[in-house]
Structure 1
Amino acid sequence: MQLPAQAVAATALIEVVRISALPAKRGAPFPGEVVTHWAGSEAADALALIETLPGSEQHRCGFSPGWSIRAYEDTLDLALFEAAFCFSCHEVRMHGTAVPRMLATQFFDAAAPSAQNLLALFREAAL
């Protein structure tokens, strides 16, 4: 999976969100509970793991993401990007000031070991 490189380099903090609904409008943050924050090497490791997600074909489920990450630079102002993951349809939707249009929708192999590791990190964060 491809993340916006400049945003990844600038990321100082990641919020992990357990999504509770779809946003009211396109480009709005996904509503839900922030279950943890990752900073430093923890954030860098998570982003590196996400970048290893292998591509996949689209599966149809209606896009019902369970998790998202919001990446912030050290000023903690606006999120550089948010990526919402649907492990049913293998789709990731990203938005934010650092996201080029061509990266906004991507598909990943949810059964791949890296995807299962990411899902385990999300679930562990919610404990």
Structure 2
Amino acid sequence: MQIPAEAVAATALIEVVRISALPTEQGAPYPGAVIAHWVGNEAAGALALIETLTGSEQHRCGFAPGWAIRAYEESLDLALFEAAFCFRCHEVRMHGTAVPPALVTQFFDGEAPPAQALLTLFRTVAP
């Protein structure tokens, strides 16, 4: 999966969100509870894992993401990007100040080891 390199380099904090609904407006944050904060090596490791997600063909499920991450730079103002993951249709939707239009919608192999490791990481921090 592609994440803008400048966003990865600038990320100081990641919020992990357990998504409860779809946003009501395009570009709005995904609603849900923030269940974890990752900083330092934990944030860098998560981004490195996400970057290893291999591409896949589009699957159809209606896009019902369960998890999202929001990446912030040190100022913690606006999110550099938010990425919402649907492990059923293997789709990632991203938006934010650092996301070019070409990277807004991507597809990943949800059965591949990196995707399963990411799902396990999300589930590990869930209450």
Q: With the length of structure 2 as denominator, give the TM-score of the two structures.
A: 0.99
Task: Measure the CA separation in 1 of the matches of 2:66 and 2:82.
Answer: 13
Task: Measure the CA separation in 1 of the matches of 2:32 and 2:93.
Answer: 16
Match of 1:89 in 2: 89
1:62 aligned counterpart, secondary structure: coil
Ranges in structure 1 where 5+ consecutive residues have no aligned partner: none
Alignment of 1:22-37 (within 5 A): 22-37=22-37
| 2:64 paired with 1:64 | yes
One-letter amino acid of the counterpart of residue 31, structure 2: P
Task: Measure the CA separation in 2 of the matches of 1:4 and 1:86.
Answer: 20
Task: Measure the CA separation in 1 of the matches of 2:94 and 2:124.
Answer: 23
Task: Measure the CA separation in 1 of the matches of 2:113 and 2:59.
Answer: 18
1:23 aligned counterpart, secondary structure: coil
Match of 1:99 in 2: 99
Deviation at 1:68, TM superposition (A): 0.2
| 2:7 paired with 1:4 | no
Deviation at 1:4, TM superposition (A): 1.0
Greater than 6 Å deviation, 4+ residue runs: none
Deviation at 1:21, TM superposition (A): 0.1
Q: With the length of structure 1 as denominator, give the TM-score of the two structures.
A: 0.99
1:6 aligned counterpart, secondary structure: helix
One-letter amino acid of the counterpart of residue 22, structure 2: L
One-letter amino acid of the counterpart of residue 72, structure 1: Y
Percent identity over the alignment?
77
Deviation at 1:28, TM superposition (A): 0.2
Ranges in structure 2 where 5+ consecutive residues have no aligned partner: none
Deviations 1:37-66 (A, max 9, x none): 000000000000000000000000000000
CA RMSD between the two structures: 0.4
Match of 1:120 in 2: 120
Deviation at 1:91, TM superposition (A): 0.2
Task: Measure the CA separation in 2 of the matches of 1:42 and 1:126.
Answer: 16
Match of 2:53 in 1: 53
